[in-house]
A and B are shown apart, each in its own frame.
Chain A
Protein backbone atom coordinates (compact mmCIF):
# COMPACT_ATOMS: atom_id res chain seq x y z
CA UNK A 1 0.00 0.00 0.00
CA UNK A 2 1.34 3.43 -0.98
CA UNK A 3 2.11 6.03 1.70
CA UNK A 4 0.01 8.54 -0.24
CA UNK A 5 -3.03 6.27 -0.03
CA UNK A 6 -2.59 5.81 3.75
CA UNK A 7 -2.13 9.54 4.26
CA UNK A 8 -5.35 10.27 2.34
CA UNK A 9 -7.32 7.93 4.62
CA UNK A 10 -5.80 9.55 7.72
CA UNK A 11 -6.62 12.98 6.32
CA UNK A 12 -10.22 11.93 5.74
CA UNK A 13 -10.62 10.80 9.36
CA UNK A 14 -8.85 13.90 10.66
CA UNK A 15 -11.33 16.05 8.72
CA UNK A 16 -14.22 14.07 10.22
CA UNK A 17 -13.00 14.81 13.76
CA UNK A 18 -11.89 18.39 13.14
CA UNK A 19 -14.11 19.97 10.49
CA UNK A 20 -12.64 22.62 8.22
CA UNK A 21 -9.21 21.03 7.60
CA UNK A 22 -7.92 21.98 4.14
CA UNK A 23 -6.80 19.11 1.86
CA UNK A 24 -3.08 18.25 1.75
CA UNK A 25 -2.06 17.83 5.38
CA UNK A 26 1.59 18.03 6.35
CA UNK A 27 2.72 14.58 7.63
CA UNK A 28 5.49 16.17 9.69
CA UNK A 29 2.90 17.89 11.87
CA UNK A 30 1.19 16.43 14.91
CA UNK A 31 -2.56 15.83 15.03
CA UNK A 32 -2.76 18.42 17.79
CA UNK A 33 -1.32 21.02 15.38
CA UNK A 34 -4.58 20.61 13.45
CA UNK A 35 -6.71 21.09 16.58
CA UNK A 36 -7.37 17.39 17.33
CA UNK A 37 -7.51 16.53 21.02
CA UNK A 38 -6.40 13.19 22.47
CA UNK A 39 -9.82 11.58 22.09
CA UNK A 40 -10.11 12.83 18.50
CA UNK A 41 -6.80 11.08 17.85
CA UNK A 42 -8.26 7.79 19.10
CA UNK A 43 -11.17 8.20 16.66
CA UNK A 44 -8.84 9.11 13.78
CA UNK A 45 -6.55 6.12 14.39
CA UNK A 46 -9.35 3.58 14.85
CA UNK A 47 -11.28 4.94 11.85
CA UNK A 48 -8.19 4.68 9.65
CA UNK A 49 -7.46 1.15 10.93
CA UNK A 50 -10.96 -0.01 10.06
CA UNK A 51 -10.89 1.58 6.61
CA UNK A 52 -7.42 0.32 5.75
CA UNK A 53 -8.12 -3.05 7.38
CA UNK A 54 -4.73 -2.90 9.11
CA UNK A 55 -4.55 -3.77 12.79
CA UNK A 56 -1.81 -2.05 14.81
CA UNK A 57 -1.28 -3.48 18.33
CA UNK A 58 -2.49 -1.04 21.00
CA UNK A 59 0.79 -0.45 22.75
CA UNK A 60 2.54 0.27 19.43
CA UNK A 61 0.52 3.47 19.19
CA UNK A 62 1.84 5.16 22.29
CA UNK A 63 5.14 6.40 20.84
CA UNK A 64 3.92 8.00 17.60
CA UNK A 65 5.44 11.47 17.32
CA UNK A 66 3.59 12.87 14.29
CA UNK A 67 1.27 11.94 11.40
CA UNK A 68 4.16 10.49 9.46
CA UNK A 69 4.88 8.20 12.41
CA UNK A 70 1.36 6.78 12.14
CA UNK A 71 1.82 6.21 8.40
CA UNK A 72 5.01 4.27 9.25
CA UNK A 73 3.07 2.05 11.65
CA UNK A 74 0.40 1.34 9.02
CA UNK A 75 3.13 0.40 6.56
CA UNK A 76 4.83 -1.82 9.11
CA UNK A 77 1.68 -3.71 10.01
CA UNK A 78 0.09 -3.91 6.54
CA UNK A 79 -0.45 -7.51 5.42
CA UNK A 80 2.51 -8.58 3.33
CA UNK A 81 1.69 -9.32 -0.30
CA UNK A 82 3.21 -12.61 -1.43
Chain B
Protein backbone atom coordinates (compact mmCIF):
# COMPACT_ATOMS: atom_id res chain seq x y z
CA UNK B 1 0.00 0.00 0.00
CA UNK B 2 1.29 3.47 -0.88
CA UNK B 3 2.60 5.55 2.02
CA UNK B 4 1.97 8.80 0.09
CA UNK B 5 -0.73 10.78 1.86
CA UNK B 6 -3.34 12.85 0.04
CA UNK B 7 -1.63 16.19 0.72
CA UNK B 8 1.74 14.98 -0.62
CA UNK B 9 0.06 13.45 -3.65
CA UNK B 10 -1.78 16.69 -4.45
CA UNK B 11 1.41 18.70 -3.94
CA UNK B 12 3.23 16.40 -6.36
CA UNK B 13 0.54 16.79 -9.03
CA UNK B 14 0.46 20.57 -8.66
CA UNK B 15 4.25 20.97 -8.68
CA UNK B 16 5.46 18.26 -11.07
CA UNK B 17 8.08 20.56 -12.62
CA UNK B 18 9.55 21.56 -9.28
CA UNK B 19 10.47 18.05 -8.15
CA UNK B 20 14.14 17.30 -8.80
CA UNK B 21 16.13 14.06 -8.47
CA UNK B 22 17.53 14.88 -5.03
CA UNK B 23 14.07 15.25 -3.50
CA UNK B 24 13.39 11.55 -3.91
CA UNK B 25 16.58 10.69 -2.05
CA UNK B 26 15.27 12.07 1.22
CA UNK B 27 14.32 9.29 3.57
CA UNK B 28 12.57 10.76 6.55
CA UNK B 29 11.09 7.73 8.28
CA UNK B 30 11.13 3.94 8.40
CA UNK B 31 8.46 3.80 5.69
CA UNK B 32 9.39 3.56 1.99
CA UNK B 33 7.80 6.94 1.38
CA UNK B 34 10.39 8.31 -1.08
CA UNK B 35 10.07 5.21 -3.29
CA UNK B 36 6.28 5.40 -3.32
CA UNK B 37 6.43 9.11 -4.10
CA UNK B 38 8.96 8.61 -6.92
CA UNK B 39 6.82 5.85 -8.39
CA UNK B 40 3.81 8.16 -8.29
CA UNK B 41 5.85 10.93 -9.99
CA UNK B 42 6.87 8.62 -12.86
CA UNK B 43 3.25 7.40 -13.15
CA UNK B 44 1.89 10.94 -13.45
CA UNK B 45 4.51 11.89 -16.05
CA UNK B 46 3.56 8.88 -18.17
CA UNK B 47 -0.12 9.75 -17.75
CA UNK B 48 0.63 13.26 -19.04
CA UNK B 49 2.87 11.98 -21.87
CA UNK B 50 5.89 13.71 -20.34
CA UNK B 51 8.12 10.76 -19.37
CA UNK B 52 10.95 10.91 -21.90
CA UNK B 53 13.44 8.75 -20.01
CA UNK B 54 14.20 5.05 -20.54
CA UNK B 55 12.71 5.16 -24.06
CA UNK B 56 13.37 1.83 -25.74
CA UNK B 57 15.61 1.43 -28.79
CA UNK B 58 15.16 -1.57 -31.02
CA UNK B 59 18.25 -0.99 -33.17
CA UNK B 60 21.91 -0.02 -32.73
CA UNK B 61 22.84 3.50 -31.53
CA UNK B 62 22.98 4.91 -35.05
CA UNK B 63 22.65 8.59 -35.82
CA UNK B 64 18.92 8.39 -36.62
CA UNK B 65 16.67 5.83 -34.92
CA UNK B 66 13.17 5.04 -33.63
CA UNK B 67 12.28 5.15 -29.95
CA UNK B 68 9.32 3.75 -28.07
CA UNK B 69 8.45 5.78 -25.00
CA UNK B 70 7.20 4.09 -21.82
CA UNK B 71 3.60 4.98 -22.61
CA UNK B 72 3.90 3.32 -26.04
CA UNK B 73 4.40 6.47 -28.16
CA UNK B 74 6.75 6.03 -31.14
CA UNK B 75 9.16 8.80 -32.08
CA UNK B 76 11.76 9.03 -34.86
CA UNK B 77 14.81 10.98 -33.70
CA UNK B 78 18.24 12.26 -34.60
CA UNK B 79 20.39 10.62 -31.98
CA UNK B 80 22.57 13.08 -30.07
CA UNK B 81 22.22 11.23 -26.77
CA UNK B 82 24.59 8.28 -27.20
CA UNK B 83 28.33 8.14 -26.48
CA UNK B 84 29.05 6.15 -29.63
CA UNK B 85 31.54 8.85 -30.70
CA UNK B 86 33.25 6.99 -33.54
CA UNK B 87 30.34 4.72 -34.50
CA UNK B 88 32.27 1.62 -33.45
CA UNK B 89 29.40 -0.06 -31.58
CA UNK B 90 27.84 -1.01 -34.94
CA UNK B 91 30.92 -1.24 -37.15
CA UNK B 92 30.72 -4.59 -39.03
CA UNK B 93 34.30 -5.62 -38.08
CA UNK B 94 33.57 -4.94 -34.40
CA UNK B 95 30.36 -6.98 -34.53
CA UNK B 96 32.17 -9.83 -36.27
CA UNK B 97 34.95 -9.84 -33.65
CA UNK B 98 32.33 -9.95 -30.87
CA UNK B 99 30.55 -12.83 -32.59
CA UNK B 100 33.81 -14.74 -32.95
CA UNK B 101 34.63 -14.20 -29.27
CA UNK B 102 31.22 -15.39 -28.03
CA UNK B 103 31.53 -18.44 -30.29
CA UNK B 104 34.94 -19.31 -28.89
CA UNK B 105 34.60 -18.40 -25.19
CA UNK B 106 30.86 -18.55 -24.49
CA UNK B 107 28.66 -15.93 -22.93
CA UNK B 108 30.17 -14.95 -19.58
CA UNK B 109 33.64 -15.07 -17.99
CA UNK B 110 32.27 -17.06 -15.03
CA UNK B 111 34.88 -15.88 -12.54
CA UNK B 112 36.82 -12.97 -11.11
CA UNK B 113 39.75 -11.89 -13.28
CA UNK B 114 42.24 -12.73 -10.51
CA UNK B 115 40.85 -16.25 -10.02
CA UNK B 116 39.90 -17.93 -13.30
CA UNK B 117 38.09 -15.25 -15.31
CA UNK B 118 41.02 -13.96 -17.39
CA UNK B 119 40.72 -15.16 -20.99
CA UNK B 120 43.02 -14.79 -23.95
CA UNK B 121 40.66 -12.12 -25.34
CA UNK B 122 41.19 -9.97 -22.20
CA UNK B 123 44.97 -10.16 -22.70
CA UNK B 124 44.47 -9.21 -26.37
CA UNK B 125 42.51 -6.10 -25.35
CA UNK B 126 45.14 -5.16 -22.74
CA UNK B 127 47.99 -5.62 -25.22
CA UNK B 128 46.07 -3.72 -27.91
CA UNK B 129 45.63 -0.78 -25.54
CA UNK B 130 49.29 -0.74 -24.46
CA UNK B 131 50.31 -0.73 -28.12
CA UNK B 132 47.75 1.97 -28.96
CA UNK B 133 48.89 4.31 -26.19
CA UNK B 134 52.53 3.69 -27.01
CA UNK B 135 54.34 3.51 -23.65
CA UNK B 136 55.93 0.07 -23.14
CA UNK B 137 56.39 0.37 -19.35
CA UNK B 138 52.62 0.65 -18.90
CA UNK B 139 49.91 -1.93 -18.40
CA UNK B 140 46.12 -1.98 -18.30
CA UNK B 141 43.70 -3.15 -15.62
CA UNK B 142 40.22 -3.97 -16.96
CA UNK B 143 36.97 -3.32 -15.09
CA UNK B 144 33.35 -4.20 -15.88
CA UNK B 145 32.12 -0.60 -15.66
CA UNK B 146 33.65 2.82 -16.17
CA UNK B 147 32.16 3.82 -12.81
CA UNK B 148 34.00 0.91 -11.15
CA UNK B 149 37.35 2.06 -12.50
CA UNK B 150 37.31 5.27 -10.48
CA UNK B 151 35.68 3.58 -7.50
CA UNK B 152 38.29 0.78 -7.46
CA UNK B 153 41.41 2.65 -8.53
CA UNK B 154 41.00 5.62 -6.16
CA UNK B 155 40.05 3.47 -3.17
CA UNK B 156 43.03 1.14 -3.76
CA UNK B 157 45.51 3.99 -4.27
CA UNK B 158 44.36 6.19 -1.38
CA UNK B 159 44.13 5.05 2.23
CA UNK B 160 42.81 6.83 5.35
CA UNK B 161 45.24 9.61 6.16
CA UNK B 162 45.99 10.22 2.45
CA UNK B 163 44.26 12.97 0.49
CA UNK B 164 42.20 13.22 -2.70
CA UNK B 165 41.99 16.64 -4.39
CA UNK B 166 39.31 16.84 -7.08
CA UNK B 167 38.08 19.34 -9.63
CA UNK B 168 34.63 20.47 -8.42
CA UNK B 169 33.12 19.31 -11.74
CA UNK B 170 34.36 15.74 -11.26
CA UNK B 171 32.13 12.81 -12.18
CA UNK B 172 30.23 11.10 -9.38
CA UNK B 173 32.42 7.98 -9.72
CA UNK B 174 35.49 10.04 -8.72
CA UNK B 175 33.67 11.52 -5.73
CA UNK B 176 32.40 8.11 -4.62
CA UNK B 177 35.85 6.55 -5.09
CA UNK B 178 37.34 9.26 -2.89
CA UNK B 179 34.65 8.70 -0.26
CA UNK B 180 35.17 4.94 -0.30
CA UNK B 181 38.93 5.37 0.16
CA UNK B 182 38.48 6.94 3.61
CA UNK B 183 41.05 9.60 2.68
CA UNK B 184 40.53 13.33 3.19
CA UNK B 185 38.78 15.10 0.31
CA UNK B 186 39.13 18.61 -1.06
CA UNK B 187 37.61 20.18 -4.19
CA UNK B 188 39.30 22.88 -6.24
CA UNK B 189 37.45 25.35 -8.46
CA UNK B 190 36.86 24.06 -11.96
CA UNK B 191 40.12 24.14 -13.96
CA UNK B 192 41.52 26.77 -11.57
CA UNK B 193 45.24 26.05 -11.22
CA UNK B 194 45.85 28.88 -8.73
CA UNK B 195 43.24 27.40 -6.38
CA UNK B 196 44.68 23.90 -6.82
CA UNK B 197 48.15 25.17 -5.96
CA UNK B 198 46.84 26.94 -2.87
CA UNK B 199 45.39 23.61 -1.66
CA UNK B 200 48.51 21.58 -2.52
CA UNK B 201 50.72 24.06 -0.63
CA UNK B 202 48.71 23.35 2.52
CA UNK B 203 48.48 19.56 2.33
CA UNK B 204 51.65 18.34 0.61
CA UNK B 205 54.04 17.82 3.51
CA UNK B 206 56.25 15.03 2.18
CA UNK B 207 54.40 12.40 4.26
CA UNK B 208 50.81 12.54 2.97
CA UNK B 209 50.05 10.78 -0.31
CA UNK B 210 48.01 13.15 -2.47
CA UNK B 211 46.06 12.15 -5.59
CA UNK B 212 44.73 14.89 -7.88
CA UNK B 213 41.71 13.75 -9.92
CA UNK B 214 40.57 15.54 -13.08
CA UNK B 215 38.93 14.75 -16.42
CA UNK B 216 40.07 15.04 -20.02
CA UNK B 217 36.70 16.32 -21.22
CA UNK B 218 34.17 17.36 -18.57
CA UNK B 219 30.93 15.85 -19.78
CA UNK B 220 28.71 18.34 -17.93
CA UNK B 221 30.44 21.37 -19.44
CA UNK B 222 31.97 19.99 -22.63
CA UNK B 223 35.31 21.71 -21.97
CA UNK B 224 38.82 20.25 -21.73
CA UNK B 225 40.60 19.66 -18.44
CA UNK B 226 43.92 21.43 -17.90
CA UNK B 227 45.90 18.18 -17.79
CA UNK B 228 49.23 19.90 -18.47
CA UNK B 229 48.75 22.42 -15.65
CA UNK B 230 47.73 19.70 -13.19
CA UNK B 231 50.65 17.43 -14.11
CA UNK B 232 53.10 20.32 -13.60
CA UNK B 233 51.67 21.13 -10.18
CA UNK B 234 51.65 17.45 -9.22
CA UNK B 235 55.36 17.24 -10.04
CA UNK B 236 56.13 20.41 -8.11
CA UNK B 237 54.35 19.16 -4.97
CA UNK B 238 55.16 15.45 -5.29
CA UNK B 239 51.51 14.47 -5.79
CA UNK B 240 49.99 11.86 -8.13
CA UNK B 241 47.46 12.34 -10.94
CA UNK B 242 44.39 10.47 -12.16
CA UNK B 243 42.98 11.73 -15.45
CA UNK B 244 39.57 10.38 -16.42
CA UNK B 245 39.54 10.35 -20.23
CA UNK B 246 36.09 8.73 -20.48
CA UNK B 247 34.90 11.18 -23.14
CA UNK B 248 38.26 11.67 -24.87
CA UNK B 249 40.13 8.34 -25.13
CA UNK B 250 40.35 7.25 -28.81
CA UNK B 251 38.92 10.66 -29.83
CA UNK B 252 41.17 13.53 -28.64
CA UNK B 253 44.77 13.98 -29.74
CA UNK B 254 46.28 13.24 -33.11
CA UNK B 255 46.60 9.54 -32.35
CA UNK B 256 43.46 9.28 -30.22
CA UNK B 257 45.43 9.04 -26.97
CA UNK B 258 43.27 11.64 -25.31
CA UNK B 259 43.58 15.16 -23.97
CA UNK B 260 46.76 14.01 -22.20
CA UNK B 261 48.30 13.45 -25.64
CA UNK B 262 46.80 16.70 -27.00
CA UNK B 263 48.52 18.65 -24.21
CA UNK B 264 51.78 16.67 -24.52
CA UNK B 265 51.81 15.03 -21.08
CA UNK B 266 50.55 11.47 -21.60
CA UNK B 267 53.77 9.95 -20.22
CA UNK B 268 53.46 12.00 -17.02
CA UNK B 269 49.94 10.96 -16.03
CA UNK B 270 50.03 8.37 -13.23
CA UNK B 271 46.60 6.79 -13.81
CA UNK B 272 44.82 7.29 -17.13
CA UNK B 273 41.19 6.17 -16.90
CA UNK B 274 39.11 5.13 -19.90
CA UNK B 275 35.47 4.14 -20.20
CA UNK B 276 34.62 1.59 -22.85
CA UNK B 277 30.98 2.65 -23.23
CA UNK B 278 32.08 5.81 -25.04
CA UNK B 279 34.26 5.77 -28.19
CA UNK B 280 35.09 2.05 -27.76
CA UNK B 281 31.41 1.24 -28.42
CA UNK B 282 31.24 -1.42 -25.71
CA UNK B 283 30.98 -1.41 -21.93
CA UNK B 284 33.39 -1.46 -18.97
CA UNK B 285 36.54 0.49 -18.44
CA UNK B 286 40.23 0.38 -17.73
CA UNK B 287 43.20 2.10 -16.12
CA UNK B 288 46.44 2.63 -18.03
CA UNK B 289 49.40 3.07 -15.67
CA UNK B 290 52.88 1.82 -14.76
CA UNK B 291 52.94 -1.95 -14.48
CA UNK B 292 53.55 -1.91 -10.70
CA UNK B 293 50.41 0.19 -10.17
CA UNK B 294 48.41 -2.07 -12.48
CA UNK B 295 49.48 -5.24 -10.69
CA UNK B 296 48.44 -3.68 -7.38
CA UNK B 297 45.07 -2.45 -8.71
CA UNK B 298 44.32 -5.89 -10.15
CA UNK B 299 44.39 -7.25 -6.61
CA UNK B 300 43.41 -4.31 -4.42
CA UNK B 301 40.66 -2.58 -6.40
CA UNK B 302 38.01 -4.54 -4.55
CA UNK B 303 35.14 -3.89 -6.96
CA UNK B 304 37.33 -5.53 -9.65
CA UNK B 305 38.51 -8.45 -7.57
CA UNK B 306 35.00 -9.24 -6.33
CA UNK B 307 33.30 -8.89 -9.74
CA UNK B 308 33.18 -11.28 -12.66
CA UNK B 309 35.56 -10.34 -15.51
CA UNK B 310 34.34 -8.48 -18.62
CA UNK B 311 32.26 -10.66 -20.90
CA UNK B 312 34.24 -12.16 -23.78
CA UNK B 313 32.03 -10.97 -26.65
CA UNK B 314 32.18 -7.30 -25.71
CA UNK B 315 35.90 -7.64 -24.95
CA UNK B 316 36.56 -9.12 -28.40
CA UNK B 317 34.57 -6.36 -30.06
CA UNK B 318 36.44 -3.66 -28.14
CA UNK B 319 39.84 -5.13 -28.99
CA UNK B 320 38.82 -4.72 -32.65
CA UNK B 321 37.60 -1.14 -31.98
CA UNK B 322 41.03 -0.23 -30.52
CA UNK B 323 42.69 -1.74 -33.58
CA UNK B 324 40.43 0.31 -35.89
CA UNK B 325 41.09 3.48 -33.90
CA UNK B 326 44.77 3.08 -34.74
CA UNK B 327 44.17 2.87 -38.51
CA UNK B 328 43.79 5.62 -41.14
CA UNK B 329 40.03 5.13 -40.81
CA UNK B 330 40.29 5.87 -37.06
CA UNK B 331 42.24 9.03 -37.78
CA UNK B 332 39.72 10.09 -40.40
CA UNK B 333 36.83 9.60 -37.92
CA UNK B 334 38.69 11.66 -35.32
CA UNK B 335 39.03 14.52 -37.81
CA UNK B 336 35.35 14.19 -38.77
CA UNK B 337 33.98 14.23 -35.20
CA UNK B 338 35.82 17.51 -34.56
CA UNK B 339 34.62 19.14 -37.77
CA UNK B 340 31.07 17.89 -37.07
CA UNK B 341 31.16 19.36 -33.56
CA UNK B 342 32.53 22.68 -34.85
CA UNK B 343 29.88 22.82 -37.58
CA UNK B 344 27.07 22.02 -35.12
CA UNK B 345 28.32 24.60 -32.63
CA UNK B 346 28.57 27.22 -35.39
CA UNK B 347 24.84 26.77 -36.10
CA UNK B 348 24.01 27.55 -32.47
CA UNK B 349 26.58 30.15 -31.44
CA UNK B 350 25.24 33.65 -30.96
CA UNK B 351 21.66 32.33 -30.91
CA UNK B 352 21.68 30.28 -27.70
CA UNK B 353 24.11 30.05 -24.78
CA UNK B 354 26.59 27.31 -25.73
CA UNK B 355 29.01 28.22 -22.93
CA UNK B 356 32.73 27.85 -23.37
CA UNK B 357 32.81 24.26 -24.52
CA UNK B 358 34.91 23.24 -27.49
CA UNK B 359 34.72 19.45 -27.61
CA UNK B 360 32.24 16.99 -29.18
CA UNK B 361 30.06 17.33 -26.08
CA UNK B 362 27.98 20.34 -27.11
CA UNK B 363 26.13 22.13 -24.33
CA UNK B 364 23.17 24.50 -24.61
CA UNK B 365 22.29 26.18 -21.32
CA UNK B 366 18.62 26.85 -20.66
CA UNK B 367 18.91 27.63 -16.94
CA UNK B 368 15.63 26.96 -15.18
CA UNK B 369 15.21 23.24 -14.37
CA UNK B 370 11.43 23.58 -14.10
CA UNK B 371 11.42 23.70 -17.94
CA UNK B 372 13.12 20.30 -18.24
CA UNK B 373 10.13 17.97 -18.55
CA UNK B 374 8.24 19.92 -21.20
CA UNK B 375 11.42 20.85 -23.07
CA UNK B 376 12.63 17.25 -23.30
CA UNK B 377 9.19 16.15 -24.47
CA UNK B 378 9.17 18.89 -27.12
CA UNK B 379 12.64 17.94 -28.40
CA UNK B 380 11.84 14.24 -28.69
CA UNK B 381 8.53 14.83 -30.44
CA UNK B 382 10.19 17.29 -32.83
CA UNK B 383 12.71 14.56 -33.69
CA UNK B 384 15.78 15.08 -31.50
CA UNK B 385 17.03 12.98 -28.59
CA UNK B 386 19.49 14.69 -26.21
CA UNK B 387 20.76 14.17 -22.71
CA UNK B 388 19.38 16.90 -20.47
CA UNK B 389 21.16 17.48 -17.18
CA UNK B 390 20.02 19.55 -14.27
CA UNK B 391 20.42 19.92 -10.51
CA UNK B 392 21.92 18.06 -8.64
CA UNK B 393 24.26 17.02 -11.49
CA UNK B 394 24.93 20.73 -12.15
CA UNK B 395 24.30 23.79 -9.92
CA UNK B 396 20.72 25.04 -9.44
CA UNK B 397 19.49 27.29 -12.23
CA UNK B 398 22.10 25.96 -14.68
CA UNK B 399 20.13 23.21 -16.40
CA UNK B 400 21.44 22.36 -19.85
CA UNK B 401 20.86 20.30 -22.97
CA UNK B 402 23.88 18.07 -23.54
CA UNK B 403 24.49 16.64 -27.00
CA UNK B 404 27.08 14.08 -28.06
CA UNK B 405 28.15 14.69 -31.65
CA UNK B 406 29.68 11.68 -33.40
CA UNK B 407 31.88 11.22 -36.46
CA UNK B 408 28.94 9.53 -38.18
CA UNK B 409 26.40 12.37 -38.11
CA UNK B 410 25.78 14.03 -41.45
CA UNK B 411 25.68 17.80 -41.93
CA UNK B 412 22.01 17.47 -42.85
CA UNK B 413 21.23 15.73 -39.54
CA UNK B 414 23.18 18.33 -37.57
CA UNK B 415 21.42 21.18 -39.37
CA UNK B 416 18.03 19.65 -38.60
CA UNK B 417 19.05 19.12 -34.96
CA UNK B 418 20.17 22.76 -34.66
CA UNK B 419 16.84 23.95 -36.13
CA UNK B 420 14.97 21.91 -33.49
CA UNK B 421 17.12 23.37 -30.70
CA UNK B 422 16.45 26.91 -31.96
CA UNK B 423 12.70 26.25 -32.21
CA UNK B 424 12.79 24.94 -28.62
CA UNK B 425 14.79 27.98 -27.51
CA UNK B 426 12.11 30.23 -28.98
CA UNK B 427 9.26 28.30 -27.36
CA UNK B 428 10.94 27.89 -23.96
CA UNK B 429 12.50 31.35 -23.89
CA UNK B 430 16.21 30.67 -23.93
CA UNK B 431 17.18 32.39 -27.18
CA UNK B 432 20.07 34.79 -26.66
CA UNK B 433 18.70 38.30 -26.33
Contact = CB atoms under 8 A, between A and B. Distances in A.
Contacts of A55: 28-29
Given A18-B185, A19-B184, A35-B186, A46 B19 contact: no
A64 B153 CA distance: 36
A62 B18 contact: yes
Contacts of B25: 39, 42, 46
A42 B184 CA distance: 20
Contacts of B395: 38
B15 A46 contact: no
Given A38-B391, A50-B27, 13 more contacts: A38-B22, A39-B22, A39-B172, A39-B392, A41-B22, A42-B25, A42-B392, A46-B28, A55-B28, A58-B26, A59-B15, A59-B19, A62-B18
A42 to B, nearest CB: 5
Nearest to A20: B184
Interface of B: 8, 11, 15, 18-20, 22-23, 25-29, 168, 172, 175, 184-187, 391-392, 395
Contacts, number: 52
Give the contact-size bracket for chain A.
10 to 19
B16 to A, nearest CB: 11
Given A18-B185, A35-B186, A37-B175, A49 B26 contact: yes
Contacts of A35: 185-187
17 contacts: A35-B187, A37-B175, A37-B392, A41-B22, A42-B25, A45-B26, A46-B25, A46-B26, A50-B29, A55-B28, A55-B29, A57-B11, A58-B26, A59-B15, A61-B26, A62-B20, A62-B23
Nearest to B18: A59
Nearest to A54: B28
B28 A49 contact: yes
Nearest to A19: B184
A49 B28 CA distance: 6
A59 B23 contact: yes
